Amino acid sequence: MNPTCVIVANSSRARFFKLEDHDTPEDDTGPRLIELSALVNSETNHNSSGSWSEVKSGRNRATTSGNAHGYDDHRQKHLDEYEKRFAQSIVDETQRINKNNKGKVILVSQNRMLGHLRTAINGSIKGIRTSELNKDLIRLNPNELQNRLCDEHLLPKRRSITH
């Protein structure tokens, strides 16, 4: 069986799983998802707690003699850059886990982070097969995650134990 790596991520956290088949006949419940590692994006956690000292929204007030001027402190550009760097860290960890770049990688994330991951993988890992699911499943335990991915036809179902 070719290895299958599952990456579940959002802008602040990523979890890495591997689909493993049991070798022992007494525990023949089929492949199961095993959590290997996790990453935390320290940049988004740090910046969401107050890198910008003041909340700015809207426009400057117009004086009696002039027009109102809009302003942009480019926060979204900064947050976007933090997410891109985190996506590259996720790809680096994926390469560490899947040293031969064989098998399949399933990316599970919401649309924005999924785009960053897709770009980072295409720029770093050649010839790997990927599947994508646009959902936020970061909080599911491995069994719940496997069941959801089975429902989406991305992973095989676990076999039931027969005695």
Mean pLDDT of 15-33: 76
Identify the H or E element spanning 147.
helix 142-151
Of 24-38, 68-82, 86-100, 131-145, least confident by mean pLDDT is: 68-82
What pLDDT does 127 receive? 72
- What domains sit in the chain, N to C, each tagged with a CATH number? 4-44+75-151 (3.30.420.60)
pLDDT surpasses 70 at 39: yes
What pLDDT does 136 receive? 94
What pLDDT does 107 receive? 95
Query: 110 to each of 61, 74, 141, 149, 152, how far by Cα in Å?
Result: 37, 22, 18, 15, 15
| Mean pLDDT, all residues of the chain | 80
Close Cβ partners of 145 (under 8 Å, ≥ 6 residues apart) = 6, 8, 17, 33, 108, 137
Distance CA 136, CA 113 (A): 10
* Band of pLDDT at residue 160, cut at 50, 70 and 90: low
Could you read off the pLDDT of 41-73 as tens digits, one per residue?
A: 987 655 554 554 555 555 555 556 666 655 555
What pLDDT does 66 receive? 61
Distance CA 84, CA 9 (A): 12
pLDDT surpasses 70 at 104: yes
